[in-house]
């Protein structure tokens, strides 16, 4: 396991918010992540909530803007927030804001120049998971959530690891990236022209063929979101879920947009959703 460098430590609501840096073997660069731990004396073995942020974001966006620490402290939930891509001068990048650094799409790239570093799926599910489990002893139940590109990541990682995660939630996720401009652009660059290979990174396609353990999914989508109709289209995955009688709920939130104001409004409900699913499974 790579050595962790503590960058920040803040006491908040009886818990502690940390920010770390480490040298990632999987990504071949320095990476940062944030971690919130509730009061250790009260919650000795908290469940772990994974948060995946969206395009252009870092681990700081959720930590600073979502206001989730108060609810997590009350409910006794640990939260881990990875960055959204590998970073550094030697890392492939693009002048476009929706590609390259800040836009890793939580997949394992196969194409040059991206493949040597853009292995975000393995980074999260293997390397950062090992740090969470071995260094911080966070070995309890796990949930996963995210926003926009991170919502796509949460759905894909959750569905591909249904035996690991107890539940999934997402805010304004890209549910069918192989059919929308953001996804087509990124997948063409990262995965090449064979669109059959894209399907393993598309939540709607994964759900169509999902035959394993069913884990509950909650999606919140604002009806004032400027990306709703062109890039997000949650009705696509909702239709598949209805056909399969899969436990997926899409809530349309009147007047809400794509910003962290929406996340801050409903994040406590998402944490409570995950805990309620945990109780139902016991």
> Which residues belong to the active site?
148, 225, 258
Tokens (6 digits) for 19: 């920010």
Q: What is the DSSP-derived secondary structure letter of residue 128?
A: I
Cα separation, 120 vs 134, in Å, equals 20
Tokens (6 digits) for 212: 């394993």
Q: Which of 34, 28, 22 is nearest to 90 (CA)?
A: 28
In degrees rounded to 5, what are phi and psi of residue 92? -55, 140
Tokens (6 digits) for 10: 């803040």
* Alpha carbon distances (Å) from 35 to 38, 128, 146, 225: 10, 11, 15, 29
Residues 60/25/103/250 CA torsion (nearest 10 deg): -70
Tokens (6 digits) for 35: 């971690």
Q: Which of 217, 205, 222, 227 is nearest to 257 (CA)?
A: 222
């Amino acid at each position: 396991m790579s050595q962790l460098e503590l960058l920040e430590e803040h006491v908040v609501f009886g818990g502690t918010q940390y920010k770390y840096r480490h040298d990632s073997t999987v990504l071949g660069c320095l990476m940062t992540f944030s971690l919130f731990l509730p009061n250790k004396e009260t919650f000795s073995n908290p469940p772990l909530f994974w948060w995946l942020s969206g395009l252009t974001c870092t681990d700081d966006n959720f930590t600073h803007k979502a206001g989730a620490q108060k609810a997590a402290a009350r409910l006794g939930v640990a939260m881990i927030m990875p960055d959204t891509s590998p970073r550094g001068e030697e890392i492939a990048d693009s002048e476009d804001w929706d590609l390259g650094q800040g836009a890793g799409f939580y997949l394992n790239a196969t194409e040059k120049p991206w493949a040597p570093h853009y292995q975000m799926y393995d980074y999260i599910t293997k390397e950062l998971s090992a740090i969470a489990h071995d260094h911080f002893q966070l070995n309890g139940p796990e949930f996963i959530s995210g926003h926009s590109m991170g919502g796509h990541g949460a759905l894909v990682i959750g569905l591909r690891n249904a035996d690991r995660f107890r539940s999934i939630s997402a805010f304004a996720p890209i549910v069918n990236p192989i059919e929308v401009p953001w996804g087509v652009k990124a997948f063409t660059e990262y995965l090449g022209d064979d669109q059959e290979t894209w399907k393993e990174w598309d939540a709607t396609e994964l759900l169509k063929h999902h035959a394993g353990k069913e884990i509950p999914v909650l999606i919140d989508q604002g009806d004032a979101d400027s990306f709703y109709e062109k890039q997000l289209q949650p009705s696509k995955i909702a239709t598949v879920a209805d056909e399969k009688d899969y436990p997926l709920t899409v809530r349309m939130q009147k007047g809400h947009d794509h910003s962290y104001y929406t996340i801050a409004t409903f994040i406590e409900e998402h944490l409570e959703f995950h805990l309620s699913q945990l109780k139902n499974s016991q």
